[in-house]
Amino acid sequence: MIRRTSRQLRIGKVTVGGDTSVVVQSMTKTDTRDIHATINQLKQLEDCGCEIVRVAVPDKEAATSLATIKKGVSLPIIADIHFDYRLALGALKAGVDGLRLNPGNMGDKEQVSKVVAAAKEREVPIRIGVNAGSLPADFQPRAPLAERMGNMALEQIRFMESLDFSLIKVSLKAFDVPTTIQAYQMIADKMPYPLHLGVTEAGLPRTGAIRSAIGIGVLLYQGIGDTIRVSLTAYPCEEVFVAYEILKSLGLRQRGPTLVSCPSCGRADVDIIALAEAVNKRLEKISKPIKVAVMGCVVNGPGEAKDADVGIAGGKGKGAIFRKGKVVGTVSENRFLQALMTEIESLNERGL
Ligand code: SF4
């Protein structure tokens, strides 16, 4: 996988673009005016591995709250601004690390110039965040949607460049996965700035994770993308979890354990679904990138999961514990979970 080379920029303490790892973002779902609740959610996001957080700024009170919120957390904060450029100026004054502007609903050049001047003075990057749903109807109405999205971003990029501003990041989000992919592909080699990937309004966790994994995953596999956000109708840490799973699946990041479990079949002598779920629950407490296999039988189990650091293959009344595909012991069925966890904990303590 060869990654597209993008221009590097800093969002607070986090470097984005260039040859740095793909960064995981999310967004708070609290009322930003509720400072206490927002700080709490930001801390939860930091604990679950989020690296940059976007915060909605719907009004002046929310913009003003950002100053106190910033003091309460170390995560870089991006202010999400729609319609009113004065909220962007307020957020910059409050000390945010980045802005997200939607060119579809903030088209007045004079107003955007004022925001760009203030961002430039503070060296704060701006994400040009195009959304399929908020494109002005009269903008290139005959062109395909993905092209319209890309062209709207390019137009805004050229305008910001004309103001001698280059701390730019770009996103082109749509609900439709092929449109999202085409829009990013279209713009990727037309400008040098980092790309933030996402499929917008992707839905509830089950379907939203799949839609996001396909949209974001295809692009990442093509080397496109510097930051990602999985948009789910769920608590934000769920978004972060799915984002890391996408990155882990492509070998782009490592975080926490990976569970390899067989689907079970007529050869299984144990309830593999219940066992895998119980192991998965226990793995939530482990932060090291350990690979654990839970397999339904000894015929294929150790071989199929030979990459796993540790695993179990169930059998009639007993099972085999294996490390890197090599059987290192047998245990009775009532001790499966306990024996596997003992192995995992000992590996975790010793270091992998
Ligand atoms: Fe079936 Fe065994 Fe493969 Fe699991 S590991 S799917 S039980 S053959």
Please spell the DSSP secondary structure of 285-306, one letter per residue.
Answer: T--S--EEEEES-TTTHHHHTT
pLDDT tens digits, one per residue of 228-247: 999 999 999 999 999 999 99
- Examine residue 3 and state whether it is found in any structural domain, yes or no: no
The alpha carbon of 273 is separated from its chain's Cα centroid by a whole number of angstroms, namely 28
* Residue pair 347/341 in contact by the 8 Å Cβ criterion: no
CA dihedral 144, 149, 152, 154 (to 10 degrees): -100
Residue at a domain's end among 249, 276, 296: 249
Which of 249, 267, 296 is the last residue in one of the domains? 249
For residue 300, the domain's CATH number is 3.30.413.10
Is pLDDT of 304 > 80? no
Tell me the two tokens of residue 42: 């930001």
Nearest to 116 by CA among 44, 168, 51, 55: 168
In a domain, 230, yes or no: yes
The Cα 293–Cα 274 span in angstroms is 14
**Residue nearest (by alpha carbon) to ligand 1 atom 1:** 265
Domain assignment present for residue 1? The answer is no
- Please indicate, yes or no, whether residues 169 and 245 belong to a single structural domain of this protein: yes
Whole-number Å distance, alpha carbon 270 to ligand 1 midpoint, is 10
- Tell whether 338 is covered by a domain: yes
Higher local confidence (pLDDT), 302 or 199: 199
Tell me, using a 6 A CB cutoff, whether residue 297 lines ligand 1. yes
Q: Is residue 113 part of a domain?
A: yes
- Label residue 187 by pLDDT band (50, 70, 90): very high
Whether ligand 1 lies within 6 angstroms of the CB of 128 is answered as no
User: Best substitution site from 295, 316, 336 to test ligand 1's pocket, by max atoms within 8 Å of Cβ?
Assistant: 295
Tell me the CA–centroid distance for residue 313 and ligand 1, in Å: 9
Distance 320 CA to ligand 1 centre (A): 14
How many of the other CB atoms lie within 10 Å of CB of 27?
20
Same domain, 266 and 304: yes
The reported pLDDT for the residue numbered 190 is: 97
| Residue of 264, 273, 298, 316 to test ligand 1 pocket, by largest number of atoms within 8 Å of CB | 264
Same-domain check for residues 322 and 188: no
Neighbours of 342 (CB within 10 A): 14
Tell me the percentage of the chain whose pLDDT exceeds 70: 98
- Residue bearing the CA closest to ligand 1, atom 2: 297
Region 3-11: mean pLDDT is 96
Using the 3D structure, point to which of 249, 268, 287 is the last residue of a domain: 249
> 285 and 220: one domain?
no
Nearest CA-CA partner of 26 in 44, 13, 3, 8: 44
Residue 122 CA, ligand 1 centroid: distance in Å: 58
- What is the whole-number distance in angstroms between the Cα of residue 283 and the centre of ligand 1? 22
The finding on whether 264 has its CB within 6 A of some atom of ligand 1 is yes
Q: What is the chain's mean pLDDT, rounded?
A: 94
Is residue 268 in contact with ligand 1, taking CB distance under 6 Å? Answer: yes
Report which of 286, 272, 247, 267 is spatially closest to residue 337, judged by C-alpha positions: 272
Distance CA 259, CA 294 (A): 8
For residues 94 and 73, give the distance between their C-alpha atoms in angstroms, rounded to a whole number.
14
Q: Which of 200, 185, 191 is nearest to 168 (CA)?
A: 191
Mean pLDDT of 135-153: 95
Q: Which structural domain range is residue 319 located in?
A: 258-350
- Note whether 205 and 343 are same-domain residues: no
Q: Of 105-114, 152-161, 283-292, which gets the smallest average pLDDT?
A: 283-292
Q: Which ligand 1 atom is at minimum distance from the Cα of 304?
A: 5
User: Which residues have a Cβ under 8 Å from the Cβ of 111 and sit 6 or more positions away?
Assistant: 85
How far, in Å, CA of 323 to CA of 42, rounded?
38
- Give 301 Cα–ligand 1 centroid separation in angstroms: 6
Indicate the length of the chain as a whole number: 352
C-alpha distances in angstroms, 149 versus 78, 122, 193, 197, 231?
A: 22, 28, 16, 14, 19
What is the reported pLDDT for 198?
97
* pLDDT band per the 50, 70, 90 thresholds, residue 11: very high
Burial class (CB in 10 A: 0-12, 13-18, 19+), 71: exposed
Ligand 1 atom with the smallest distance to the CA of 295 is 5
Count of helices and strands (H, E) across the chain? 11, 15
Span 283-287, average pLDDT: 86
Distance, CA 21 to ligand 1 centroid (Å)?
Answer: 35
Within a domain: 70: yes
What is the rounded CA–CA span in Å between residue 311 and residue 305?
8
Q: Are 187 and 153 in contact (CB under 8 A)?
A: yes
Same domain, 51 and 13: yes
305 pocket-lining for ligand 1 (C-beta < 6 Å):
no
Is the pLDDT reported for residue 121 higher than 80? Answer: yes
Claim to verify: residue 205 and residue 111 sit in the same structural domain? yes
pLDDT score, position 284: 86
What value, to the nearest 5°, has the Cα angle with vertex 244 and ends 287 and 202? 140
**DSSP element (H, E) containing 101:** strand 98-101
> Out of 205-214, 300-309, 325-334, which region has the weakest mean confidence (pLDDT)?
300-309
**174 and 81 in a common domain:** yes
CA of 304 to the centre of ligand 1 (A): 9
Instruction: Give the pairing of strands 227-229 and 258-261.
Output: unpaired
Lowest mean pLDDT among 6-10, 324-328, 347-351: 347-351
How many distinct structural domains can be found in the chain? 2
Indicate whether 190 and 302 sit together in one domain: no
The answer to whether 219 and 185 are in contact (CB under 8 A) is yes
| pLDDT of residue 272 exceeding 90 | yes
pLDDT classification of 351: cutoffs 50, 70, 90: low
User: Could you tell me the CATH number of the domain that includes residue 236?
Assistant: 3.20.20.20
Is 82 within a domain? yes
Asked if residue 92 and residue 206 are part of one domain, the reply reads yes
Interstrand relation of 98-101 and 126-131 (parallel, antiparallel or unpaired): parallel
Within this chain, do residues 133 and 25 fall inside the same structural domain, yes or no? yes
Residues 69 and 50 in one domain: yes
